[in-house]
Structure 1
Amino acid sequence: MCFLCLCRANIDEVETDVVEIEAKLDKLVKLCSGMIEAGRVYISANKLFVSGIRDLSHHCKKEEMISECLEKCGESLQEIVNYHMILFDQAQRSVKQQLHNFVKEDVRKFKETKKQFDKVREDMEIAQVKNAQAPRSKLHEVEEATSTLITTRKCFRHLALDYVLQVFQNKSDSSPKNDNSMLSFMQAQHSLFQQGFNLLDEIDPYMKNLAAELDQLVIDSAMEKREMEHKHATIQQRDFAYDDSKVEFNVDAPNGVVMEGYLFKRASNAFKTWNRRWFSIQNSQLVYQKRLKDALTVVVEDLRLCSVKPCEDIERRFCFEVVSPTKSCMLQAESEKLRQAWIQAVQASIASAYREISENYYIERLDRTASPSTSSIDSASEPRERIVKGESILQRVQSLPGNEICCDCGQADPRWASINLGILLCIECSGIHRSLGVHCSKVRSLTLDTWEPELMKLMCEIGNTVINQIYEGACEEQRLKKPGPSSSRQEKEAWIKAKYVERKFLKKMCGSEALVEGSRKSHHWSVKKCRRHNSSIRAPKTRRKYRHNAGIMSPANLSAGTCLEASDPEDGRELDPNALLHKASRARNLPVMAEALAHGADINSVSEEDESKSPLIQAVAGGSLIACEFLLQNGADVNQRDIRGRAPLHHATCLGHTGQVCLFLKRGASQVEVDKDGQDPLSIAVQAANADIVTLLRLARMNEEMREADGPFGQPGFTSYAFRDSSRT
C-alpha cells in the first residue's frame, strides 16, 4: 500500500472517530443538562423540607429538646443543600459548558476544514482526469492540463496538511478537555461528601446524646404505658361514681388558685335553676366560668367580706352558701367530702386575705413608728417604693454635704456606700473597703441593692463630711496629701487602710481634757424637744426609773421629750471612748457615736454604774431607731443583757417603742429569754396592754413555730411577718 493510501485510510478512521465522539459528547451534554435540572428540582424540594422543619421548630419552642433537635437538623440539612447547589453549579460550568463548547466550536471548525479538503480533493481528481485525457497532438491542452494539475495538487497538499493537523489536534484536545471537565466534576463530588462528612461529624456527639435520650424516653414511655394500662384496669374494676378521696386546696399555690372544680350554682331568677359551672378561688375572689376558656365571672369580689356555711334546709344534698354583704350564692358540690373541702378552702382564703392585709399594715406601722432623728427624711410621708431602691436613694443620700464625691478619693458621683460608716464611695474605693472585711466596712450599692427605710435614714444621718472630720482630723496638722480620683489603686488602698484600720489620722485624745475639748468644738449637745410619731404609747407604770449617773438622764425624763445636755465640761472630763459612746447613744447623737467608735470604744461595753447596760440599750432608752440601727450595723449584740437580765428587746417593749421592737425581731433578737423577774418580752407587752407590740411578738413567734413544723392555719388577725435581715454587706 502506498503512502497516500495509508494516509487516506488513517484520515478516514480519524474522521469516523470524530463523528462518533461528536455524537457521544452531544448525548452527554443532554444527559448533564437533565441531571442539573433534576438537581435543581431536588434542591428546591429540600429547601421546602428544611423550611418545614424550621416552622415546626418554632412551633415547638416550649419543648426544649424537640425544638433544639429540629433546629440543629434544619441547620445541617440547609448546609448540605448549599453543598449540593455548589455541586450542580460546578457540573454546569465544568461538564456541560466545556463539552458544549467543544462540540459547537472545535468540531464545527473540523467539519468546515473537512468540506474544504473534500472540495480540493475533488478538484485534484478532476484535474488528474483532464490531464490523463489531454491528447498529444494538442500541446496547448497538455500544458494547460498539466499546469492545472500541478496547481491543484499543490493546493491539495497544503490543505491536506492543514486538515490532518486539524484532525489530530481535535483528537488530541478532546481527551484533556474531557478529562479536565470530569476531574472538576469529581472534585466537586469529593468536596460535597467531604464537607458533608465534616458537618455531620461535628454534630455526631449531639446525635449520640440525643439517641441515648430518645432510648430513655422510649423506656419511660413504655413504663408509663404499662402504668396507665394497670391504672385503667384497676379503674374498670372499681364501681364508684366519683373519687373524692384526694381533695386538696392550697392557699399558697404559685398560680394563686387556691382550689378549683365543678359546682352546681343556683340561679337568682324566679325559676331557681341549677347550672354546672367551673368554680375557682383565686386572688381573694370566688369566680366561675361556663367553659374553661370563657372569661371569669366574679361571684364574690372580696372574700374578707363574706362568710360560708353548709345548707341542710333545702331539698338538694351537699349544698353550701357563700354570703356577702350584698348577695348570697347557693352552691352544690358532688359529695359531702367535696362540700367540706370547698367550705374549708373558702375559710382558709378568708384567713389568708386577713394575713396579707395585716402584714401590709404592720409594714406601714414600722415606717410610721420609726423613732425620729435629726434627719429631715420622714418615710411615713412618702410612698415606700420610692425610698427603697434606685435613683431616689442615690439622689437623697448624695444631696448631703460632702456626699457628691467619694469620701476617700474625691471621685464625683459615688454610687456605693459603707453602711456601717455612713459614707459614699466610688466603685474602686468600695472594692478596697470590701477587702477590709465586714468587721471594718460593709459595702452596698446605692442603685443595685434594696434599701430598708431605717438604713436609708442612717445614711442621711452621717455622711462623708462628718466621717472625714473624725477619721482625717489630723491630716491638716500632719500635712498629708489625700489621694485623688486619678491616684493609683495602691495609693488609695494604703490611704484607706491607714485611715480606717490603723486610724493614723485621728486627732489624739490626750487625756480627758482633749476629749472634752473635741466634744465642745465638734458636737454641741443641747436640750431640745423630740418629735414622737406615736405619742399614745406609754411606758408601763411598773417600770423602774434609771439612776441619774454620769450625766445620763432617766427614762422618765427622756420619754417626756428631753434629750441629753452634754455641754457641761465637768461631766465630760470623766468620759473615755466607752463612756462617750454610752452618752452619745442615749442622746441619739450619731456623729459622736461614730467618733467614740473611731477612738476604740467597745460596741458591746457595759456601764457598771448603770446596771451593766450596753450602748444598744442606751439607744433604746434614748428612743432612736436610727441609733439602734447604727450600733447593730457596727456589730452590737442584739441579745446582750443588762444586770437585770433584760436585752434590748425587753427595754424596747417596756418603753413601747414599736419600731425598735420590729427592728430587733428582724435582726434575730430572741424573745424566749426571761429577765430576773421571770418575764419575757411578750409578757411585758401583755402587761402594758400594747396591742401593736403583742401582735408583732406573736407574729414572730408564729413564724418560728411554722418553720419548725407543719401546723394548721394561723388565727385570723395574725400574720406571718417576713423579718428581713438588713445586715448584708
Structure 2
Amino acid sequence: MTVKMEFEECLKDSPRFRAAIEAVEGDVSELETRLEKLVKQCNAMLEAGRTYCQSSKSFVNGLRELGCHLSDEPTMGDCLEKFSKKLSIILLAQEELIENTQKTVKMKLQSFVKDDVKRFKDARKEFERSSETLEAALGRNAQAPRGKPHEVEEASQALTHARKSFRSGTLDYVLQINVIESKKKTDLLMAMLSLMETQAAFFQQGHQSLTELEEYRKQLGNEYTQLVLNSARDKRDMEQRHGDIKKKDESYDESILDFSPDAASGIAIEGYLYKRASNAFKTWSRRWFSIQKNQLVYQKKFKEQPTVVVEDLRLCTVKPCAEQERRFCFEVVSPSKSCLLQADSERQQQGWMSAVQNSIASAFQDRREEACSPRERCSSVSAGTINLCMGEQKDYKALEEVQAIPGNCQCCDCGEPGPDWASINLGITLCITCSGIHRSLGVHFSKVRSLTLDSWEPELIKLMCELGNTAINRIYEARIDEITIKKPHPSSPRQDKESWIRSKYVEKKFIHKLPETGRGTPLRRSSARRHRATTQEKLIQRPPIKPKPNRATLARNTGLTPTEIMNSIGSHKDEEEVEDLSGLHPGALLYRSAALQHFPVMADALAHGADVNWVNVAEESKTPLIQAATVNSLAACEFLLQNGANVNQADSNGRGPLHHATILGHTGVVCLFLKRGADYNKKDINQKDPITIAVDSANADIVTLLRLTKMNKEMREMEGGFAQSGDETYQDIFRDFSQMASNNPEKLKRRSADIKTP
C-alpha cells in the first residue's frame, strides 16, 4: 500500500499536516466529480449500445428476410444468408461486451464513489469535529484562572479527553486517506483492464467469425468485379437501345408492329385496336389484340381469359375497309363471321394487316412442314385468296435463283439455313425472325418480301442475284473482327438478334471507316458492259469527275481485295478500261459505280452515307439513276429505286431518267420507270416530253408503253379516286415487257417509221 501521509505527522498537527490534508481533500473532491461524470458517460454508452444492438438485430432480420425473398438468385440469397448469420454472432458478442462493461466498469466505479469516497468523507467529518473540540478545549485550558483550582482541573481533564479523541479521529482520517489513495489505483486499473479484456474478446470473436468467410468474400469480390463489368456492358447496351428507340417516331403504335411468329411467349404481335360490336348498337370498344397459336384474340384486362375472334387464321383473310366513316379500318373475314377493326394510324393499320397475312402464311408453312417435304407445297396463299390441297404448287423461281447465289442459303444476319425471306433494297436473304426485325426498322432501312409468298418481278430477281449475303456482309461486317460484339446464331434470343441488326444496319458499327488519305485500286469496266454503254458515250461526252483527295480507297470501302475487284468486273486486262474511283466521296462513288453497274460498290457507297439522289454538277447535274438508265441496267435502276431514288429528278436540261431512257431507246428501263410512277408529261428545256421524244425516235414499244400508261391514268381519274391501279390488260402488257427486258432484251429494239404524233 502506498502511504500518502505518515501517522506521526498527524499527531503533531503541524501546519504542514494541515496543508497536506487540504491537498488530499481537493484531490478526492476532484476525483469524485470526474468519477461521477464518467459513470454517467458509461451509462449513456451502455444505453446507446443496447439501442444499437436492438436496431442491428432488426437490420440483420431484414437481411435474412431479403435473402429469403431473393432465394431464386443463388448468389444474392447465399450471400445474405451467410452474412446475416455472422452478423448475428457478432451482435451476440457485442451484447456480452455491454453486460461485462456494466459489471466491471460501471458497477466498480459506482462502488468506489458510493463506498470508499463516502467513508473518506465520514472520516473527514469526524476529524473536523474532533479538531474543533480540541481547539475549544485548548482555549478553555488557556483561559482557566490560576486561583481557581477546580476550573483548572476541569479544563485539564477536558483537554486530555479532547486530545485523545482528536488523535483517534486523526489517525482514522489519515488511514482513510492512505486507503483511498491506494484503492483508487487498484480499482481504476482493474476496471480499465477488465474493459480492455472484454473489448479484446469481442473483437477477437468478431475477427474469427469474419475470417471464416475470407475465402467466400474473395470469391464474392471476384463475382462482384465481373458483375460490374457485365452491368457496364448492359448499361451501354440499354443506352444504345434507348437511343435507338428515341430516334424512332414517338408514336407508340409504330413501336409494336413487329411480327415475330417464333417469339418465346407465342405472341406474334400485340397492341390496342378498336373493335366494332356485332350487336345492333355497333359500338366501338378499345381492346388489347394479339395473334397467338394461329388465332386472333383480344382481352380487356390482363388476367381475364382472352376472347377468340378467329379460331384458325388459315380459314380467314384480311382486307382494308374504306366504307366506314372511321379512318384506318380493316376487316378480318372468316367463313363464319367477320370482325371490323380500327387502328390508330395508317401505318399501324398496314402493320396489322401485314401481320395477319404473315400469320396466315406462317400457319400454312408450319402445316406444310409437318405434312410435306421442304420442296413440296400443297397450298398457295395470296392477299385475299387461299387454295387448300388443290394440287397447285408455288412458283419457286425466285427462291431457287436467289438461294443459288453464294452465301444466300443461310440467313445473312444469324446464319439460319434455308431462308425464304429477303430484303430487296439490301439484296440479302433472311429467316422469318430476322425479317420481322428488319421490318421493324422501317422501309427506309430495309424492305422485306417473302421469296415464296410474294410475287417477284424479273428485275427484282435480277437485282437479288447481283448482290447477295456474301457481298453485303463484306460491307456491313467489314470490321467484325475488330469489335467484341458477338454475331448471333440461329438459336440466339430475339433480343440479341435485334441488337445486332440495329448495330449493323442502323448504326453501321461494323463498316470500314473512311480514312482521310490513301490511294485505291482502279475500278475496271468489262468490255461487255462497255459495249452496253456505247450509245450513251456517243451522245454524251462525260468529263472526268474531280476526285476528292481525302476520301477512302475503293478496296477499303468495299472490303474486297484488288484481285477480287478486278476479277469481279473483268478477266482480261487488254479488254478492260481502267477507271480510278479512289478518292471519290460516297455520292460520287455511287454515281460512277451506277454507270459501271458494279452493285457491291453501289451498296458500299450507300452504306457510307451516299445520297441516292446525288447530283453531279460537272455532268449536267445528272443523278446515279440517270447513269443507270443510260447504260440500260434494269437491275441498277431497280436497286436505286428500292433505296429511295427519285424517278422524276431532272438534270440541268430538264430531263429526268425517263427522258434519257426514251432517248436511248431502252424500252425495259422505260417500262420500269413507268411502273414506278415516272411523269410521262414532264417536259425538258426543249419543251419535249417523253412521248414526243419516243415518237421522234420512232420507237414503237416505248410509244405504246407511254400511251398506254397515259390512257390508263386518264381512265382511273374518270372512274374516281377509289379505282384500281390498272386493268388486267394493262398489267399483262407491262408484265410481258418486264419479262422481255430481263430475258430477251434484243426483242425490244423494234423500230417503226410510220408512227404519228397523237
What's the TM-score once normalised by structure 2's chain length? 0.40
RCO comparison, higher one (Cα < 8 Å, 6+): 1
